[in-house]
Amino acid sequence: MPAVKRVLLSVTDKSGLLPFAKGLAALGCELISTGGTAKMLRDGGLAVRDVSEVTGFPEMLDGRVKTIHPRVAAGILARRSVPEHMAALAEHEIATIDMVVVNLYEFEKVAAKQGAPVEELIENIDIGGPTMIRAAAKNFEDVAVVTAADDYEPILAELSANAGVLSKKTHWNLARKAYATTARYDAAITARLASIDVVEDNWSDENESTPPVLNIHMPRRQALRYGENPHQAAALYASGTTGIAGCKQLHGKELSYNNLVDLDAAWQLICEFSEPAAAIIKHTNPCGCAEQATLVEAYRKAYEADPVSAYGGVLAFNRTLDEETALEVSSLFVEAIAAPGYSEKALSILTAKKNLRLVTVDGGVPDELVVKSITGGFLAQSPDLATFDPATARVVTERQPTEAEWVALKFGWKVCKHVKSNAIVYANAGQLLSSGAGQMSRVFSVEIGARKSVLPLAGCVVASDAFFPFADGPEGAVANGATAIIQPGGSVRDADVIAAANRLGIAMVFTGVRHFRH
């Protein structure tokens, strides 16, 4: 591989660039740059040659044209092992470029802005950057292409150790990363522009909630030891820093595939609540959940619902974990905990458990497509962000819920949304008592939820993720202690179910919204 003698640098994100460029200069590399990047390097005390000096042509069109020029393209694309290529460079007095350091305009950042005008989106579509990246990656045997700041230090170390030469493997890995960068960039542009239409010469967001083409392109963030089972290979892919995929691990063993799945279920559930709340998840289903005045009380209430299942579970909190709550949690064997943060004392307590995985999570549940693979393809849907809406909910029975029942019904409805279908939740105000999850028959979910409860159910409420097809479901719930029920309604036998509720003297609320979770 040729030694790196001439480097072209043109970046939007300038993080870590100055020390990298200083390291290159110390190795004797000539630096070529553009616009703001060149200014930053000069301000840092480096000698830099402008691209316009190399091309003999000024930057123009408000910076739209800088590096798109034969003297740049030929310097990158010429194959050193092909005499005709090198002769052509000599004939036109073009110098080779041995390394290209480029990152792109932040289109994704602009696209994420609410109501970003089309003109701003268009101006943030990089042209020269992807062209240089693709050219350098195509000629990877002769040119190193650097698209990520986290590669700066290892590249400098390798150049220093090998007389300015990078190995073929390094060139190849950098090229693969470069193509992944441009592919992800194009995918982001495609996805955002697909949602925009022209209506009578005016730009308008299209009403389609799913894109005509689904682009899934994410870098591998972490190779996992295995998948759901030891014989399955697995990895985490993510492009952002929010949610469980973007969580930051502070302590404990490496996160497993199942840990991440359960943490995501716990995080989605805990994001339903505004008051201090705790959730305990086992195999993606909540075995404990509570919303109380303090975080420690929420955890205690969540734990007491099912102490047996809580063992080896995954926890989530919607507040910074404090010392008192950490002390309570420390007495239980837990696989992993997700929270927005941890106090110093809480960290000191929890990190005493060597294997306990602690992660911090930023952001709630994003309003983006939920994608699931099936054999031969993918299913995509909008996230289930529906909440209890008093405007559409209606009491269908003769008896109205009491004030306490209303509180319990709304809480149970939030939890039920996160239980696998067929889902039945027994709850009090601010506390999950028990649930029946994933049964083929709704009446079985009613029975199983009551059978596994360790807390008394007398005076509780019941939430159902879908309508009761027969009266036997509500009858079983009432027999187990329920005094009020919340469900979507919509069955052809709603009249029979309502009549049974009136006969039993309970209150029943129809929400008009179903919450299947398959």
> What are the pLDDT digits (tens) for 163-179?
888 888 999 999 998 98
What is the sign of the dihedral through the CA atoms of 263, 264, 268 and 269? negative
Task: Map out the domains of the chain as residue ranges.
Answer: 6-194, 220-360, 394-510
If one looks up domain 394-510 in CATH, what number appears? Answer: 3.40.140.20
- 142 in Cβ contact with 79 (< 8 Å): yes
Question: Which entry of 14, 85, 253, 283 is annotated as an active-site residue?
Answer: 283
Query: Is the predicted pLDDT of residue 120 greater than 70, yes or no?
Result: yes
What average pLDDT does the segment 95-100 reach? 88
Q: What is the dihedral of CA 309, 310, 313, 314, to 10 degrees?
A: 130
pLDDT > 90 fraction of the chain, expressed in percent and rounded: 54
Amino acid at 393: A
- Give the predicted TM-score (pTM) of the model: 0.75
C-beta neighbour count of 153 within 10 angstroms: 13
Judge if 220-360 and 394-510 fold alike in CATH terms.
yes
Question: Which entry of 14, 69, 85, 138 is annotated as an active-site residue?
Answer: 138
Q: Give the model's confidence band at 286: pLDDT under 50 very low, under 70 low, under 90 confident, else very high.
A: very high
Q: Give the model's confidence band at 410: pLDDT under 50 very low, under 70 low, under 90 confident, else very high.
A: very high
Can you tell me the distance from the alpha carbon of 445 to that of 425, in angstroms, rounded to the nearest whole number?
9
Q: Give the model's confidence band at 159: pLDDT under 50 very low, under 70 low, under 90 confident, else very high.
A: confident
Comparing 161 with 197, the larger pLDDT belongs to: 161
Catalytic residue status for 138: yes
For domain 6-194, is the CATH number 3.40.50.1380?
Answer: yes
Comparing 116 with 401, the larger pLDDT belongs to: 401
Predicted pLDDT at 149: 86
Query: Is the predicted pLDDT of residue 119 greater than 80, yes or no?
Result: no
Predicted pLDDT at 12: 81
Query: Is the predicted pLDDT of residue 118 greater than 90, yes or no?
Result: no
Catalytic residue status for 283: yes
Query: Is the predicted pLDDT of residue 90 greater than 60, yes or no?
Result: yes
What average pLDDT does the segment 266-295 reach? 97
Mean pLDDT of the chain: 89
- Domain 220-360 top-level CATH class: alpha beta
Q: Which of 2-11, 66-75, 192-201, 343-352 has the lowest mean pLDDT?
A: 192-201
Query: Is the predicted pLDDT of residue 202 greater than 60, yes or no?
Result: no
Highest average pLDDT, of 38-47, 88-97, 259-268, 374-383, comes from: 259-268
